[in-house]
């Protein structure tokens, strides 16, 4: 049988819930950036962003994050 929750357990649970709510409502500030990019590559990215029903910026952010994570994994394997 589970032990009863004490005040510290309840407080931790409450703070975790508040952190999740805050992260869901937190808006990321995006600033315009100028990037030199091959026009053909940009077109491919735009097409894929439309297919996934995301903005070009959101799609590029996701692609960059995925690439960075993949390279980090490769560095750790060496």
Q: What pLDDT is attached to residue 74?
A: 92
Q: Is the pLDDT of residue 23 over 70?
A: no
Determine the average pLDDT of the residues in 33-47.
93
Please state, rounded to an integer, the average pLDDT across all residues of the chain.
84
In a domain, 2, yes or no: no
In a domain, 60, yes or no: yes
Number of domains in the chain: 1
Identify which of 47, 72, 76 has the alpha carbon closest to the alpha carbon of residue 60: 47
In a domain, 63, yes or no: yes
Determine the average pLDDT of the residues in 16-30.
71
Residue 55 CB coordination number (10 Å): 12
Please identify which residue in the block is written with the tokens 């490769």. Answer: 74
In a domain, 31, yes or no: yes
In a domain, 1, yes or no: no
Residues near 13 by Cβ (< 8 Å), separated by ≥ 6? 5
Q: Is the pLDDT of residue 49 over 80?
A: yes
Determine the average pLDDT of the residues in 33-53.
93
Burial of 61 (0-12, 13-18, 19+ CB in 10 A): middle
Range of the domain at 34: 7-77
In a domain, 13, yes or no: yes
């Amino acid at each position: 049988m589970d032990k009863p929750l004490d005040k510290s357990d309840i407080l931790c649970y409450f703070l975790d819930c508040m952190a999740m709510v805050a992260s869901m409502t937190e808006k990321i500030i995006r600033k315009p950036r100028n990037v030199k990019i091959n026009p053909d590559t940009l077109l491919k990215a735009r097409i894929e962003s439309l297919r996934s029903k995301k903005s070009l910026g959101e799609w590029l952010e996701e692609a960059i994050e995925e690439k960075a994570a993949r390279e980090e994994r490769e560095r750790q394997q060496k």
